[in-house]
Structure formats: C-alpha cells, structure tokens
Amino acid sequence: MLASKIIPPVLAGDAPTILQFPAETARAIRTLRNMTAQLLQDAAQVIPNQQLLINVVSRRVRQLGLGHRPLVEATPRSSLTDIALREIIDGKLTYELTPESKPAEGA
C-alpha cells in the first residue's frame, strides 16, 4: 500500500521495466577529462613543480569547498578542481615559498 504511493504506477506493474540512459554520457565524461587534462597542462606551465602545483590546487579546492568565492567566472558544470586550475592559469592564484626554519638546538 505504501509502495504504491512511492513507486510510480509505471514501475509498480508486474512487467520488468528497462531504464535507458543516453549513450552520449560516456562522450561527455571523456570531453570533461580532456578539458581537465588540458587545464592541468596549462597550469603546469605556470607552476612547473608538479608537487607544488598539486598542493596549491588541493588547498584552493578545499577553500572553494568551504564557500570561498571563485576568482574566475565559473559555470555550474565546473568542478572545484577546474576552477582552481583556471585561477592559476589566469594568474589570479599564486604561491609563495617560505624559508625553511631550522629546529631549535635545545629541543
């Protein structure tokens, strides 16, 4: 009785229902991967050190996830990683290396 309210009548019948999804989804995912790979290559031109680039991107993604506003125009389909990479490419996001401090000798 409760199931009839939750499940639409088309799905509640005895005949099995086959859900069809568009085949274009795989192509869209490949396109997004290629776009992200291209953004990563472009960002690597700005920050050539791969480890540093990953650290800068991950820190910015964390900030964006907490609600910080993007420094570049973002579309609704843009991932936080894509936004961070575009900020680096556009020169809106930079980094600064801090000098390494030596541990205290008395500790």
Q: Where are the domains of the chain?
A: 48-92
pLDDT digits (tens, 9 = 90+) for 27-44: 555 566 677 889 999 999
The band of 65, judged by pLDDT with boundaries at 50, 70 and 90, is very high
Mean of pLDDT over the chain: 79
Give the residue with greater pLDDT, 107 vs 51.
51
User: Which pTM was predicted?
Assistant: 0.64
DSSP letters spanning the chain:
-HHHHHS-HHHHSSS-------THHHHHHHHHHHHHHHHHHHHHHHS--HHHHHHHHHHHHHHHHTTPPPSS---TT--HHHHHHHHHHTTS----PPPPPPPPTT-
Range of weakest confidence among 15-19, 44-48, 93-97, 102-106: 15-19
What integer pLDDT is reported at residue 76 of this predicted model?
Answer: 87
